[in-house]
Every structure is written in C-alpha cells, then in structure tokens.
Structure 1
Amino acid sequence: MTWRLRRATPGDSPALSLVASAAFLDAYASVLNGADIIGHCARNNSHAVFETWLSDPQTVVTLAEYEPGHAPIGYTVLTSPDFPIDTDAADIELRRIYTLKQFHGGGVGQGLLREACDDARAGGHTRMLLGVWAKNSRARRFYERAGFEVVGSRSFAVGDTLYEDPVYALRL
C-alpha cells in the first residue's frame, strides 16, 4: 500500500469533509444512533467547517492520500485547545485524527501522528492534547503506545447523548 501525506489547502475541503464523515460513520455505526451520526457529521464535517480551519493560520490540517490517484484516506487537524482543563500557549490540540478502517495497520495513522507532532513542535508547542471516546479501546491503545497519558476528561455530545471522554496529553 502506498500513501502520502501533505498539508491540506483550501481546495481540499470537499475531500476532507468526505473522509471525515466516512471515517466517523465507519468508526461509530455500530454504537451510535444513525440520526445522531448524520446530524453530527452535518454539523462537524461540512465543507464550511474545513474551510474555516484551512483559512486559520493557527490551524494545521494534514491530508493522507492513497497512491496512485490521491483518494483521501485520513487526516489530522491541529488547532487551539478546547478542553475543560488548564491549558496555555504552549499547548495544541490534535482535534482530529482519522484514518479509514481499511487502512488501519498500514502506518497511515502513525505517519499522521508523527507529522502532527512535527508540526506542533515547529509551531513552538510543547504539549499535544486530544480527546477520545472512552470506549474506543483501539484508539486509546494507539495513543498510549505513542506516549500519551490521561490528564483529565471532557463531556462530548453526539445527538442527545452526552459522553465523558478522557483527555490525553503528550509532552513534545
């Protein structure tokens, strides 16, 4: 399997929106209500959401593409932290890191995380934060193997259901 990573540009919002919704559906179709998934994706994975991130100089979006053909298969979003824990200017949030399930185990997720850490360091950040669904044991193991540790929790709503998710941190 051949893939590449590149910095996303404003023209990439349709590809990012597509892979974001596909990955969210793929990850949560067996555990969340279908209407909640659709509503969540419409609000959080729209072209407009990605266009806002892509136009923000403080946000870094990286796109993973399958080679050949450049089909979107994953992405990350690094942005200002939004957590109910103490943060400072040295912190950055890995708001999103998703890879389509068929590409799990092929190094794409590790490549995206490595690139995000490099981008965070280049921006002068010394701590990366992320939130993850408490029952997503595969993702939690991935982050823990990379050195992330739980430093708090946050409430996260999908539809009418409120989840209490751990917040992880990694010293860069």
Structure 2
Amino acid sequence: MIDKTIREATVEDIPALAQLGEATFVETFGQESPAEDVANYLAEAFSLEKVTAEMAEPGATFYLSFVGDELAGYLKLNTDDSQTEPEGPDSLEVQRIYFLKKFQGLGLGTDFFRLVDEKTKEAGKKRIWLGVWEHNQKALHFYEKKGFKPFSEHVFVVGSDRQRDIMMEKKV
C-alpha cells in the first residue's frame, strides 16, 4: 500500500511550492513552447513573491500531495474574487493540479478530486470549473472521467505563446 497524504500548504511551504510549480510545469509543458517563453513564464508565475501573493489572496488555497515524505504534487483552488475568470459566487475553480511525472498513475489526482468535491460542498458551491490546454489529451480524458464537460475556452499565455485552453465544468 502506498503512503499518500494531502495537507493544506502554509507560508512555510512557499519555497517548496514555487520549486514544485516550476518542476511540474517544465515536465508537463516545457517542450511545448519556445524555451525563452517558458523561462519568462516560470520567472513570473513561480517567483517566491508571486506564490506568496497568491497564497495570501482571500479565496485561494493550496494543497500539497505527498507520497511517503516526498512532495509529489499540488492543487490550487480559487473561490469568489480569486477565480481567474468571473464565473460567479456559486463556482469553485481548480486553477492548478500538477504532479511530478514519477508520481503519476498512483491515484493522486483522484485523491485531489475527492478533496475538491469535499471543499466545494463545504463552501456551498454548486459548480467546479477548470481550464485545460487543448492538446493535453491525458488531462482532458482524466477530467471527462471525473464528470467534467467543456463549456467555453480562453487563452493561456506562456511568454509570447498564446495557447487555447478548454474550460470544463462539473455541477455538484
């Protein structure tokens, strides 16, 4: 049996969270955009200052996933005004859900989505939504299996590279 745990991130976790954010982004998307665009995005999105500001934002919460004592992945949830799109007060956004490749396939994503469902109900929300890159077939399939359906799209910018994200939702 695999020793898996999830806990809410604290300010003490910011350096590890920033490092994990960079590592998982590079593993997942590093070959999909020009190197300069990826480097610029990483410097902007995962600086200690940016992660600190995101963690302090009302309505934003980070969770960490561990396998044994190793940090395996993270989740960022947004409610109310912290949502990246104005999806309304009845919605909860899964802004980020990433795992290091060596931990994929262990059921950690399913564990996170159990937590997402729990937090959505606790917050009295009626809908969960997220954006996923149109070419990330593995993630699209995973979200569909979890009951998410496409409802719109938006642009996700990596440096100067404009990418299309499919916005998906699940009613609770």
TM-score, normalised by the number of residues in structure 1? 0.91
Q: Secondary structure in 1 aligned to 2:120?
A: helix
Deviations 1:149-171 (A, max 9, x none): 00100011111111121100111
Quick check: 2:151–2:167 contact (8 Å CA) kept in 1?
A: yes
Give the AA of the match of 1:133: W
Alpha-carbon separation, structure 1, partners of 2:160 and 2:112? 31
Alignment of 1:21-170 (within 5 A): 21-67=22-68, 69=69, 71-79=70-78, 80-83=82-85, 87-170=87-170
**Number of aligned residues:** 168
Mapped to 2, the partners of 1:120 and 1:20 lie a distance apart of: 23
C-alpha contact 1:16 1:72 (8 A) present in aligned 2: no
Amino acid at match of 1:139: A
Q: For 1:29-48, what per-residue CA distance to the aligned partner results, in whole angstroms no more than 9, with x for missing partners?
A: 22221221111111112222
> 1:138: Cα distance to partner?
0.2
**Does the Cα contact within 8 Å between 2:33 and 2:161 map onto a contact in 1?**
no
- Secondary structure of residue in 2 paired with 1:88: coil
Task: Give CA-to-partner distance per residue, 1:57-93, whole Å, 9 cap, x none.
Answer: 41121101221x3x3210111113223xx62100121
Q: Who is 2:18 aligned against?
A: 17
Q: Which range moves more in the overlay, 135-144 or 103-112? A: 103-112
In the TM superposition, what whole-angstrom CA distance separates every residue of 1:92-125 from its partner, at most 9, and x where no partner exists? 2111100111111101111112212211221111
The answer to whether the 8 Å contact 1:65/1:72 transfers is yes
- Partner of residue 8, structure 2: 7
Over the matched positions of the two proteins, sequence identity in percent amounts to 27
SS class of match (1:132): strand
* Code of the aligned partner of 1:102: K
Moved more, 48-57 or 12-21: 48-57
Structure 1 unaligned residues grouped into runs of 5+: none
User: What is the TM-score of this pair, normalised by structure 2?
Assistant: 0.91
Cα RMSD between the aligned structures? 1.4
Q: Which amino acid in the other structure matches residue 66 of structure 1? A: V
